[in-house]
Every structure is written in C-alpha cells, then in structure tokens.
A and B are shown apart, each in its own frame.
Chain A
Amino acid sequence: DVVMTQTPPSLSVAIGQSVSISCKSSQSLVYSDGKTYLHWLLQSPGRSPKRLIYQVSNLGSGVPDRFSGTGSQKDFTLKISRVEAEDLGVYYCAQTTHFPPTFGAGTKLELK
C-alpha cells in the first residue's frame, strides 16, 4: 500500500497567518492517464471530512481561494493563506491513484 506521510502532525497558528502542510507518498502518484490523484480533505471538529482540493491543485466547489495545492510525483503541499477560524480542524491528504486508496495520518490545525 502507498504510505502517505504528513508533516507536521500539528500546527498552532494565529488568525491571519499563512501555513503550509506537507504530504509525501511512498510511490509516485502519477496515474497511467497522466493525472495525479492526490486530494486534500478538512475535517472540522465533530464534522465529516470535506474535500478541499482534488488532483493536486483544483479547488473543490465553494472552497475559498485562500487554499492552494501544489506538488508532483511524490511531494505535495497544501497552503492556507490568511487562516480564518473556520479553517481549524484536521487536514488529510489522500491518494486514489493506487489501490487501495490511502490517507495521511492528518495535520491538526489549532489556534495559537
């Protein structure tokens, strides 16, 4: 199985600050169709996960452009510019390139 390694495990931020979360995979996530099926999810406290970004850099419907995703092959980054209170929670990266789909262990974003 593809191992997804997220760092850091937690982040303490002030509102308005910008932060980045790293996700590294044990194998390249480029599929045979040339696309990279790496996604970012946010699980707010007590809620179901919500997909923020799909295929590395595409914003999900209704997701503010404060969120951005970059990366390729095995190395990916989620950046949040100007953190707002509603951004707090646990962020997961997930890959659906290889079977079975796998998730990172999560990065908990908390208020400083």
Chain B
Amino acid sequence: QVQLKETGPDLVQLTQTLSITCTVSGFSLTTYNVHWVRQPPGKGLEWMGAMWNGGGTDYNSAFKSRLSISRDTSKSQVFLKMNSLQTDDTAKYFCARQAFDYWGQGVMVTVSS
C-alpha cells in the first residue's frame, strides 16, 4: 500500500539548516510527484515545494532562496533542506503524494534559540 514517512530532527538551532527525508513505498517517484507542506502549531497548511516525477523541482517563492528539494529514486526518498532557520519555521513538516492523495505522519520541528 502507499505510504510516506518523514524522518528528521525535532529540534534545530536558530540559523541552522533543517534536513528531512521522506521515504515512500507503494509507488514510484518517477511516476508520482511529491510535495512538501508545513503547518505551524495551531495554524493552516502551507505549500513549500515539490519534486516532480520527471526530476524537476518547484518552490514557493516565500522559501525559494533557502529551500532545496532533491531525491534518490533508488532509495525511494525525497529530501527537504532549508537553511537559515528562524523561530517562525517551527512547524510540522509533511510530505504528500501528488494531488495530496496520501500524506506522511509529519515531523514536528522546533527551532530553538
């Protein structure tokens, strides 16, 4: 069955870099797109960027200068890397399959000073 699972740190220091891995199963990254979406505590959903099935990427302009998305198709993994973290980057980070049909459980990341 289709599954996505995010793994990453629960605490990141101010101005440091966040790295999260989304490991997928039940589908191929060369067939389906994968999105990254985040949700600050008590708030709504914010689209961050996507890894397209063809290998290209797109980013929300709000993050473009500090966000990078990549993948390793042999390991069925998509990677999110975001630098210069601030306290308002504290959020739950999700990966989701295209058209948001399946979601991972998310990883809650707190940015600490």
- Interface SS of chain B: helix, strand, loop or mixed? mixed
Nearest CB in chain B to that of A61: its residue = B101
Q: Is the CB of A51 within 8 A of B106?
A: no
Task: Give complex CA distance A40, B60 in Å.
Answer: 21
Q: Is A100 within 8 A of B47, CB to CB?
A: yes
Residue in B44, B45, B60, B94 whose beta carbon sits within 8 Å of that of A100 in the complex = B60
Cβ-neighbour of B99 out of A49, A51, A102, A104 (below 8 A): A51
Nearest CB in chain B: distance from A36 CB, A: 12
Given contacts A41-B100, A49-B100, A92-B44, A100 and B106 within 8 Å (CB-CB)? no
How many of A's residues come within 8 Å of B, CB to CB? 20
Q: Which of B58, B94, B101 has a CB less than 8 Å from the CB of A51? A: B101
Number of interface residues of B (CB under 8 A): 20
A-B pairs under 8 A by CB, number: 48
Chain A's closest residue to B103 (CB) is A48
Question: For the complex, is B7 an interface residue (Cβ under 8 Å from A)?
Answer: no
| Shortest Cβ distance from residue A109 to the other chain B in the assembled complex, whole angstroms | 15
In the complex, A92 Cα to B37 Cα: how many Å?
A: 13
Whether B103 pairs with A49 at a CB distance below 8 angstroms is yes
For chain B, residues 78 to 113, give those with C-beta under 8 angstroms from any C-beta of chain A. 94, 96, 98-106
- Chain B residues contacting A48 (CB-CB under 8 Å) are 94, 103-106
- On chain B, the residues within 8 Å of A102 by CB distance are 47
Chain B, 49-100, CB within 8 A of any chain A CB: 50, 58, 60-61, 94, 96, 98-100
B105 near A54 with CB under 8 A, answer: no
Query: With a CB–CB cut-off of 8 A, which chain B residues contact A49?
Result: 45, 94, 96, 100, 103
8 contacts between A and B (CB under 8 A): A41-B45, A48-B94, A48-B103, A49-B45, A92-B44, A96-B98, A96-B100, A99-B58
Measured CB to CB, the residues of B under 8 A from A are: 35, 44-47, 50, 58, 60-61, 94, 96, 98-106
